[in-house]
Structure 1
Amino acid sequence: MQDAKDTNLQNEPSVAYTDNLEIYGAREHNLKDIDVEFPRNHLIVVTGVSGSGKSSLAFDTIYAEGQRRYMESFSAYARSFIGDMERPDVDKINGLSPVIAIEQKTTSRNPRSTVGTTTEIYDFFRLLFARAGEAFSYVTGEKMIKQSEDQITDLIIQRYEGKKVLLLAPVVKGRKGHYRELFVQIRKAGYTKVRVDGDVLDLVPKMQVDRYKIHDIEIVVDRLTVKADQRIRVVQSVNTALKEGKGSLMLQLHEPANKEEEKPVHFSRNLVCPTSGISYDEPAPNSFSFNSPYGYCPTCKGLGVIEEFTESSLVPDKSLSISRGGIAPLGEYRDTWMFKQLEKMLKNRKLSLTTPIEKLPEDVLDMILNGSDEILKVYSPKYKRTYETTFEGIVAYMKKNYEEGTEKLQNWAKDFVEINTCPTCNGARLKKESLHFKIDGHNIHQLSEYDINHLGEWLEGLEDRMSEKQNQIAREILKEIRKRVGLLLNIGLGYLTLNRSLRTLSGGEAQRIRLATQIGTQLVGVLYILDEPSIGLHARDNEKLIHSLHELRDLGNTIIVVEHDKDMMLEADHILDIGPGAGIHGGKVVAQGTPQEILQQNSLTVDFLSNRRQIEIPKERRKGNGNELVLKGATGHNLKNVTLKLPLGKMICVTGVSGSGKSSLIHDTLYPILNTHFFRAKRKPLEYKSIEGLEHIDKVIEVDQSPIGRTPRSNPATYVGFFSNIRDLFTQLPEAKIRGYKAGRFSFNVKGGRCETCQGGGMKLVEMDFLPNVYIECETCKGKRYNRETLEVRFKSKSIADVLDMTVDQAVDFFENQPSILRKIKFLKEVGLGYITLGQQATTLSGGEAQRIKLAKELSKRDTGKTLYILDEPTTGLHFEDIRILLQVLQQLVNKGNTVLIIEHNLDVIKVADHVVDLGPDGGEKGGEIIFEGTPEQLIKKKKGFTGKFLKMEMKNNGK
C-alpha cells in the first residue's frame, strides 16, 4: 500500500496530502521563484513594503490556484460558460484546502444592500416579526384582532340581541371611480341594496357615482333582527358577508340611538382594527422586506429616499434674473423656445426675463417651475409664425430628460436632482402596515436604526418582556440573531446600524462584516485569505479583531492575512516577510518564522517590530500661522452640536474609535462646505450652524484612495501630467521630424499612432455575461498600445512604449537631462513609488498607490501655501517604511505653509502631528463629541477616551 501511495504522489504531486501548505516556484508578477511553507490551522501574517509581492503570493498565486481547482471540479458543460481560468505562474502547490478570499472591496454598490441584509440579522428579524409580532392599528393605535366565523357570530348575538341591524360587505374603501361595472356585478349576484358613503341606496340599472370623488361602498348582505334562536340565519349572513368582503364585514344598527351607535362596527377573519375597521393581511417575512412589493413603501419602493427636482436645486441663487442664469439648468439667456415661452409668460404679467427671481411673485415662480394651463401665443422667428402653446414647467422638462432622455441628457439632468427623505415612510422604507407590527413596543425599522451595541442591550432579557406564546415561537430565531450580533461586536463594528447602506462602508468595514459572516458559518478545514482586515480600526478595536481571527483558526481553519499592523504580527502564529524592496527590488522571502523567531532575523520589517528603527517624533510641534478655521454646530449623524477649531499651518490629526464621528465631521460636513465655497460643488453637507475663517485658505483638496481611472487607459504618466512632455520630446527627434509626426502621433487616445485593434488601450475588454468583464492583452500590439511605425521612433534607443514600461526609478536616470519631465517624475519617487511603471494601468493600482500618485500630482503643482489638504486614512495598505516616506511628503506640504488634515487611527501618524482632535468617547450613539484638542504630549495625559492610552504606550517605545 505504501508503494501505491508513493506512486500516486509522483503522478499527482499537486494534490499530495501534507500537514503544511507548500508552494514551490512561485513567479507570479514580481515573485522571484520562491518556495514557501505555511503550517496548517495557524494564523499567518504575510507582510512587506508596498509592492513587494505580498498580494501576488496570497491572492494571485494561492487564491487563484484554489479558484482554478474549484472550477476544474465543474462539468465540461458548466466550464464552457465560464471559460478556463489561467494557471498561476507556480511550479506546484501541495496541501491546498478550499480557499475563501475576503478582500477590501466594498461588497455592493446596490442601495438596497445593508449591514442587516448582508449579515442576515435583518432577515431573522423579518421572520421574528412575521411569526411573533403584535399588530396595531395605524389609525387608532389599538391592538388589531382577528376572529373566526363562529366568534363573529357569537359576538353579534351577544351584543345585538333583539336589535335590527344591517350586515355589510365592504367592496370599495377610500378610492375614486364611477364603479358602473361593480354595481352591475352586484345586481347580477342578486343583491338589491348598497351603502355608498354612508347612505343605503337601491341598486338601479346604469347606476354610477362621481368618478372624481373618493368613495366607500358596501353591499347590504342582510337586514335582520338578531335573535339567538335564529343563529343559522346569522351564521349564513356572516359567511356570505365575509366572502363578499374578502374576509371582512361591517355591522350597522338600523336605528342608532346616538352618534356613537351610528358608526359601523368591523369584524374580520384577518387582522382588523375594531374601531376604524382597517384590516391587515396575515404577515409573512416578505411583509417586512423593503425589497419586496409586499413590504416596501409604495412611494420610494423601499429606498427610503426619493429623487426630485426642487426649487432649491433648480433656482439656487434667487438674486439672479432668468436671463442671467437664475434657473440653473437653463443657464444664461439663449435664443431658444424655452426662453421665448418664459419671456411671453412674464410679459403677460408685466414682468421680464431681467427681473431678479427673488422679486417675482410666488405664484409666478410656481408657474415657471410647475407649469400652467394658460394659452401662450409665442412668435417663432425661425418659422415666421405665432404658435399657441402651454408651458409645461421646468420640473416636468427636467423629469422628462432625466427619465426618457439620452444618456448624456440624463447625466446632465442628474446634476440638478435633489435626494430627499421619502415623505410617505420618512425613510423607514416599509409600508405603514408593516411598521405597525411591534415586539416589546418596537417596530422593525426602529430596531434597524439602533447601532449594534444598543441592539445587543435591547436583546438582553427580551424573553422576560414577551408573552409565553411569543417566547415559544421566537426562541430559535433569537438565538441566531444574538449569535450574529455578538460576532459584529467582537470585530469592533458595534457602532454600525442594521440599516446602514453597504456602499457607505469603508473597504475595511465591509471586509470585517464578511469575516463575521464567515465565522458564523462555522466552516472547518478552510483556507481563508484576508487583505488588511485592521484597516480603519482603532487600536482598541484591533484587539477584538485579533481575538475573532484566533476564534476562526481554532475552529480548524488556516488563515493567511496580508497585513502591516504591528499587533497583528506579534499575535500571529507565523510571519512571512517579503522584500527587501518593492517591484523589481522585491519578490523574495527575507524573513519567516514565529514572532519570537523572526525578531532574531534581519529585515526592514523586523527592524520596526523590534523598535531598532522608528518613525521619529518631531523635537518640537509647529506653532502654525495664528489663523483658525472654525466649524460650529455640526449635528449630522451622531455628532452632538460639535464645534471644530482647526489651527492653520499645522499637521492636524483627527482620531477616535471606529464610529466616533470622524468621517461625519470631516468628510461629510467640513469638506462639502469648503468644496461648495471654492468650487461651487453640489454635494450637500450634513447639518451645521456656521463656518468662520474661510478667508485664510484659498482652496481645499481631498486626497483619497479612489482610483485615478477606471480603465487600462489611465496611468501615472497621464495623471501626474508629464506624459505630454514625453510626447513633445519624441516629436523633436530627427526621425519624427522627417516623418512629420506631431505630438498626437504619440498619444494612445487618438487615431494615427495608436494600435487600432485595441484603440490604444493595450488590452481588450471581453464581456463575460453574468461574470465580471475581463481585460486581455491585445494580440496585435502585444500590450504596446502603438502601431509599428510609431514604435520605430526612438529616444536613447527606447520607443515610447518602452518608456511607458520603465519604472519610476529607471525613468529618473533615463530623463536626467530633461528637467521638465524629471521634476514631475521625481515626485513619484519621493512618495515611495519608485517601483511602479510610468504606464501602469490604473486598474492594477492599490488604493494606497492611487492616493500617493494624487499626492505626487499635488506636489508637482505651484502652490500658494494656503491650501487645506484632507486625507482619510492615508496609511491604508502601507508598511512602516512607506508610512515614514509618506509622512516626510506631508511634512513638506506643511513646511510650505499649507495645512494637512488627516483622519487616522495609526499611532505613527498621531504621534508626529502638531495638533490632535480626538472624538469619542465611544462609537455610535455614545460618540459624536470632541473629547480632546491639543498636542500628542497633552493627549497622553488625558484619561477620557481610548486614544491617549494607546498613544502613551507608543510614545513610551519612542523614549518620550
Structure 2
Amino acid sequence: MSGEKLQSLKAKESIMIKGARENNLKNISLEIPKHKLVVITGPSGSGKSTLAMDTLQRECQRQYMESMGMVTDSLNKPKVDSIAGLAPSISVGQHVTNRNPRSTVGTVTDIYTYMRVIFAKLGERSCPSCGTKVKPPVQGEEGSEPLALQEDEEEGYYQQEYVSCPNCKHRLPALRMTHFSFNKPEGACSTCSGLGTVASLNMGLVFEGDKSIREGAVTLWGGMYKEYNLSILDAAAKHYGFTFDGDIPLNQFTEIQRDVLYYGVESDEFIKHFPDVQAPKAVGKGKFEGVVTGIWRRYQEKGGDQGSGEAELFHEQLCPDCQGAKLKKEIREITVLDASITEVSAWSLEQAYEWLKRLKGDLPERELGIVGPILEDLPSRVGRVIDVGLGYLSLDRQAITLSGGEAQRLRLASLLGSGLTGVLYILDEPTAGLHPRDTEGLIKVLMQLRDLGNTVLVIEHDVEVMRRADHVIDIGPGAGSFGGTVVGQGSLDELMEQEQSVTGAFLRSEQQRLGKWNRRKANGQLTIEGARLRNLKNIDVSLPLGCLVSVTGVSGSGKSTLLFELLAKGKDKVPSEGYDHLAGFEQIESLIMVTQAPLTRMQRSNVATYTDVFTALRNLYASLPEAREKKLTSKHFSFNTAGGRCENCQGLGIVTVHMHFLPEIEVRCPVCLGKRFKEEILRVTYQGKTISDILDQTIQESLELLKDQKKVAEQIKLLCEVGLGYLKWGQSVKTLSGGEGQRIKLAKELGKKTTKRTLYLLDEPTTGLHPIDVERLLVLLNKLVDAGHTVMVVEHNLEFIRASDWIVDIGPEGGTAGGTVLASGTPEDVSKVEASYTGRFLREELS
C-alpha cells in the first residue's frame, strides 16, 4: 500500500498531530483515535489546554473557515507542522457567557419556551364574571371566535381570538405564548417589568436635608464638582426665572428648587412647573440632568452591576406585586394539572420531569393531539439535564448564578439533543464542582456523544473518568517549561506500567498512601443552630476549630449556603433570619474567605500586579545604577501609567483591530512588539533580563532569577506550592479559571503571614488540579492548620476529603431534597453511614 493511501486510511481512524510547539509544547507528535472517549490529563500547566484548545480547536476553526471560503487572517495558524484527520469541532468551556439578568435555566435550555406552549394550549382559568373554569377550545370547536388578523413579533401573524365562558358567555382573550413570557408586556408583571425584583434608591445615602449644598447636602458632590453643578443650577434658575441658593438647608427648598435638583430640567416633575418654557439646550445655559435622574441612568446603563459605584446606593428587594414570580397575577392563576407556570418553574427539574410524565398520562386524547409532539420531546430534554447531574436546578434559576461547571454541563445536555455525528467535542474539565455520585451520569452522557459517532476529547483530572475512557494521553512531566511532552498514553492500566507517566506514578503510589492519616483533635468549635436559609432544613451543625474540615454532599445540597452565606456572616455578628444562634466566633480573630468569584474585570490586572510582586519588581529596576543614571523612578517601570510605557498600546502590549461586521480582534502592538514599554526602559536589565522579559516568564522560571529578592522569592514559592508555577507574570487575571483565581487569592493571603487565629473558608480549591497538585495543596493547607488556624472547605475531591480531619456531609440530594446533615465525623465515621453518598465512595477509597 502506498504511503499516501496509508496516510488517508489513518486519517479516517485518527487525528494526527505533527510538530506541535504552541506555548510550552515541545514539538510533540501524536495520534488521537477518532470516535472514542479520549482524556488528556497531566499536572496543571503541563500543556493540556494548549494542545486541545490552542492547537486542535484553533486549527479546526481555521480549516473550517477556509473550506467555507472565509478570510482566516484573523485566526493565526497554531504553531504545528500539520494536523490531519480533523473534523468540525465544538468546544465546551467553563466560562459563563450569559450575563443577562433575564436569562434563566428555562430560557437558555428552551425548556421554558416549550412550557409556555403547554400552558397556552391547555391552561385553565376562572371566568372573571362567574368564576366558572374556562379551558382553551380546540381549533374549530364551538366557543372560539376569530377576530382581526394582527401582527406579533414572536409568532408571526396570528388570529386574535376570544374564548367564551361556557356558563355566562363572558368573552376572554385567547391565551398565546407571549402571555407566559416575562420578557413580553403581555405577560410581564408591570411593577418589576418581569425582573422579579425592584430596586429603590436610598435617598438618605444621597442627600442630607439639614445641610446646604455648599455644606455637602449632596453626598456625591465634592470640591470643584460641587461648584460646577451649582453654576449649572444657577443658570437654570435664571433661565426659568426663580432663585436657587446653595447656602440654605435642603429641607428649606421650595418644590421647584427640589425638583430641579433631584430630577433635572427635562423631567416631568420639573416641566409641570413651567409647561410653556423651552428647556435650555446647553449645560452652560442651565441644562441640568438632576441628581436622582443621573444616578438611575448610570445604574441602568451598567445593568445594576454590583461592581458599579451606583449599586451600593440601591436596595434590591422582591417585587411587592409578583413576589419574584415575574408574571402578571392573572397569568399566575392559570393552571395545567393543578399547577401554574410559576410553580412548575420554581420546582427542581426532577419534580418538573415527574409532572410532565403525569401530564402525558392524564391528558385525554383530544388534548394530547394538540401538545402530543411537545410531550414527546420535552421530557427527554429535561431528562438530559438531569443526566448531567443538574436535576436540582429550577427553571427560574438565573443563568448568571450558575458556576462554570454547571454552565458547561447545561450546554452539554443541549448538545446531546442536537444528534450531530462526526463532530470533535472538546471539553474542559466537565467534572468541576461535581460530586462523585453525579460523575457516573456525566460519563454516561459523554459515552452517548461518542456512541453517536463523535470524537469526545476531555481535559480531565478525575480518575473515574480516566478509568472509563477509551484512551488517555498524559502530558508532563511538570508545569510550564517543565511540561509540554507526552509522557504516557493508552488505557489507565497501561499508564500505570509506563515509567515516564506522571498520572501512572501517582496511581502506583496511591496504594502505599492508604490509611496513613493522623486525625487532629478539635481545639474549640463553631456551632450554628436552626440554619434554614434556602434549602437548609433547620439544621444544627458543629464545626471543629484547629482542623482541616470538608463540607461535602451532592451539587446543590446546601454546602455553600451553610459556609459562605451563613457562617461567613457570623464574624460580623450580623443577626440573620437564616439561623437561630451562632456560637464560637469569639475564638477566631480573623476570617479569610476565598471563593471562585472573578478576581477583577480589569483588563490591566495581571498575575504580577494582583500578587503585589510587580511593585517589588518596579522598585528593584528603579534601584539599578543604569536607571538612577537616567533618573528613572519606579513609576517609569509601570505599564499602567504614562512615562515609561508604550503609548501606542497604553502598556497593554496588544491593540484592538476593528474588523467590520466581525468581532474585534486583539493583535500584538506594532510599536513595542508586545513588550509594553519604551525602548529606553528596556535598556535597563537585571541579570540580563528586562522588566518585559520577566512579565513573559512563568512564575516557576523566574525563581532562579529572583532567588536573592527574599520577599518576592517567598511569594514565588507560595504560588508554586498552590500549583500555579506555570502561570506567566504578565497573564491577565481575566483569563484565569475559578480554581486558579481562588488559589492565587489563597497564595496572596498566605503571604501576609498572620499570627492571629484565622478561619479560612475555601470553595472547591482543587478545581482544575491534577491529583499530584492536590497533594501539594494539602501539604500547604496542613501547614496552616498546624500553625493553629482552621481551614473549612466545600469539596468534592475524594483524595482531599479522605485527608480531612472532619467531614460534615449534607444531602441526601440537591435542591429541595437536600439541606439535612447526613453524617458528621472523621472520614472513617462518615464511611460507615449508609445514607451518605460521600460515605459510600469513602468506603471504597479507605478500603
TM-score normalised by L of structure 2: 0.85
Q: In the alignment, what sits opposite 1:930?
A: 821
Which of 279, 282, 297 is equivalent to 1:404?
Answer: 297
Q: In the alignment, what sits opposite 1:42?
A: 36
The AA in structure 2 aligned to 1:96 is: L
> Would you say 1:651 and 2:651 are equivalent positions?
no
Q: 1:436 to 1:279 in 2, by over 3 A?
A: farther
SS at match of 1:788: coil
> Would you say 1:490 and 2:370 are equivalent positions?
no
> Would you say 1:608 and 2:506 are equivalent positions?
yes
CA distance in 2, matches of 1:597, 1:387: 83
Q: 1:655–1:903: 8 Å Cα contact kept in structure 2?
A: yes
Q: What residue ranges of structure 1 are gaps of 5+ in the alignment? A: 154-238, 247-267, 315-326, 343-375, 679-683
Residue 840 of structure 1: CA displacement?
A: 2.7
> Would you say 1:74 and 2:64 are equivalent positions?
no
Q: How does 1:594-633 map to 2 (within 5 A)?
A: 594-602=491-499, 603-612=501-510, 619-626=517-524, 628-633=525-530
SS at match of 2:32: strand
CA distance in 2, matches of 1:565, 1:941: 24
Which of 537, 553, 558 is equivalent to 1:661?
Answer: 558
Q: How does 1:287-306 map to 2 (within 5 A)?
A: 287-306=179-198
SS at match of 2:55: helix
CA distance in 2, matches of 1:582, 1:452: 41
Which of 736, 746, 749 is equivalent to 2:637?
Answer: 746
Residue 275 of structure 1: CA displacement?
A: 8.4
Q: In the alignment, what sits opposite 1:20?
A: 14
CA distance in 2, matches of 1:331, 1:769: 50
Deviations, residues 342-372 of structure 1 (Å, cap 9, x unaligned): 9xxxxxxxxxxxxxxxxxxxxxxxxxxxxxx
CA distance in 2, matches of 1:585, 1:101: 27
Residue 806 of structure 1: CA displacement?
A: 2.9
Q: 1:22–1:38: 8 Å Cα contact kept in structure 2?
A: yes
Q: 2:207–2:217: 8 Å Cα contact kept in structure 1?
A: no
> Would you say 1:449 and 2:346 are equivalent positions?
yes
Residue 454 of structure 1: CA displacement?
A: 1.2
Q: How does 1:657-736 map to 2 (within 5 A)?
A: 657-674=554-571, 687-736=578-627
SS at match of 2:133: coil
Q: 1:341 to 1:913 in 2, by over 3 A?
A: closer
Q: 1:380 to 1:925 in 2, by over 3 A?
A: closer
Q: 1:146–1:269: 8 Å Cα contact kept in structure 2?
A: no
Q: 1:144 to 1:717 in 2, by over 3 A?
A: same
CA distance in 1, matches of 2:465, 2:459: 10
Q: 2:514–2:846: 8 Å Cα contact kept in structure 1?
A: no
Q: 1:880 to 1:400 in 2, by over 3 A?
A: same
Q: 1:150 to 1:404 in 2, by over 3 A?
A: closer
Q: In the alignment, what sits opposite 1:271?
A: 163
CA distance in 2, matches of 1:330, 1:920: 48
Residue 846 of structure 1: CA displacement?
A: 3.3
> Would you say 1:541 and 2:474 are equivalent positions?
no
Q: In the alignment, what sits opposite 2:481?
A: 584
Q: 1:455 to 1:150 in 2, by over 3 A?
A: closer
Q: 2:39–2:459: 8 Å Cα contact kept in structure 1?
A: yes
Q: 2:90–2:425: 8 Å Cα contact kept in structure 1?
A: yes
Residue 53 of structure 1: CA displacement?
A: 0.7
Q: In the alignment, what sits opposite 2:414?
A: 517
The AA in structure 2 aligned to 1:421 is: L
Q: How does 1:97-112 map to 2 (within 5 A)?
A: 97-112=87-102
Q: In the alignment, what sits opposite 2:331?
A: 434
Q: 1:536–1:658: 8 Å Cα contact kept in structure 2?
A: yes
Which of 470, 475, 479 is equivalent to 2:367?
Answer: 470
Deviations, residues 64-89 of structure 1 (Å, cap 9, x unaligned): 1111122223345xx4xx86311111
Q: 1:636 to 1:83 in 2, by over 3 A?
A: farther
Residue 616 of structure 1: CA displacement?
A: 6.4
Residue 520 of structure 1: CA displacement?
A: 1.0
Q: 1:138–1:433: 8 Å Cα contact kept in structure 2?
A: no
Residue 517 of structure 1: CA displacement?
A: 0.8
Residue 127 of structure 1: CA displacement?
A: 1.5
Q: In the alignment, what sits opposite 1:336?
A: 213
Percent identity between matched residues is 42
CA distance in 1, matches of 2:41, 2:799: 18
Residue 17 of structure 1: CA displacement?
A: 4.5
CA distance in 1, matches of 2:733, 2:161: 63
> Would you say 1:119 and 2:109 are equivalent positions?
yes
Q: 2:551–2:807: 8 Å Cα contact kept in structure 1?
A: yes
Q: 2:208–2:216: 8 Å Cα contact kept in structure 1?
A: no
Which of 21, 36, 56 is equivalent to 2:50?
Answer: 56
CA distance in 1, matches of 2:459, 2:404: 14
Residue 768 of structure 1: CA displacement?
A: 5.4
Q: In the alignment, what sits opposite 2:178?
A: 286
Residue 340 of structure 1: CA displacement?
A: 6.3
The answer to which of 648-657 and 638-647 deviates more is: 638-647
Q: 1:276 to 1:758 in 2, by over 3 A?
A: farther
Q: How does 1:756-795 map to 2 (within 5 A)?
A: 756-767=647-658, 773-795=664-686
The AA in structure 2 aligned to 1:621 is: R
Residue 673 of structure 1: CA displacement?
A: 5.0
CA distance in 1, matches of 2:633, 2:693: 19
Q: 2:476–2:486: 8 Å Cα contact kept in structure 1?
A: yes
Q: 1:668–1:685: 8 Å Cα contact kept in structure 2?
A: no
Q: 2:212–2:247: 8 Å Cα contact kept in structure 1?
A: no
Q: 2:557–2:811: 8 Å Cα contact kept in structure 1?
A: yes
The AA in structure 2 aligned to 1:423 is: P
Q: In the alignment, what sits opposite 2:232?
A: none
CA distance in 2, matches of 1:420, 1:436: 23
Q: 1:917–1:933: 8 Å Cα contact kept in structure 2?
A: yes
The AA in structure 2 aligned to 1:400 is: T
Which of 365, 368, 377 is equivalent to 1:480?
Answer: 377
Q: In the alignment, what sits opposite 1:849?
A: 740
The answer to which of 409-418 and 394-403 deviates more is: 394-403
Q: 1:608–1:614: 8 Å Cα contact kept in structure 2?
A: no
CA RMSD in angstroms comes to 3.5
CA distance in 2, matches of 1:392, 1:955: 71
> Would you say 1:900 and 2:791 are equivalent positions?
yes
CA distance in 2, matches of 1:278, 1:393: 49
The answer to which of 102-111 and 135-144 deviates more is: 135-144
Q: In the alignment, what sits opposite 1:370?
A: none
CA distance in 2, matches of 1:95, 1:408: 46
CA distance in 2, matches of 1:146, 1:561: 48
SS at match of 1:542: helix
Residue 654 of structure 1: CA displacement?
A: 0.5
The AA in structure 2 aligned to 1:70 is: Y
Q: 1:135–1:271: 8 Å Cα contact kept in structure 2?
A: no
Residue 279 of structure 1: CA displacement?
A: 5.0
CA distance in 2, matches of 1:562, 1:295: 43
CA distance in 1, matches of 2:333, 2:51: 53
The AA in structure 1 aligned to 2:776 is: I
> Would you say 1:817 and 2:685 are equivalent positions?
no
CA distance in 1, matches of 2:170, 2:580: 44
Q: In the alignment, what sits opposite 1:502?
A: 399
Deviations, residues 79-122 of structure 1 (Å, cap 9, x unaligned): 4xx86311111111111111111111124111222222222221
The AA in structure 2 aligned to 1:488 is: V
Deviations, residues 824-872 of structure 1 (Å, cap 9, x unaligned): 2222222233333333332443333322221111111031332221111
Q: What residue ranges of structure 2 are gaps of 5+ in the alignment? A: 151-159, 220-241, 264-289
TM-score normalised by L of structure 1: 0.75
CA distance in 2, matches of 1:476, 1:811: 62
Q: In the alignment, what sits opposite 2:839?
A: 948
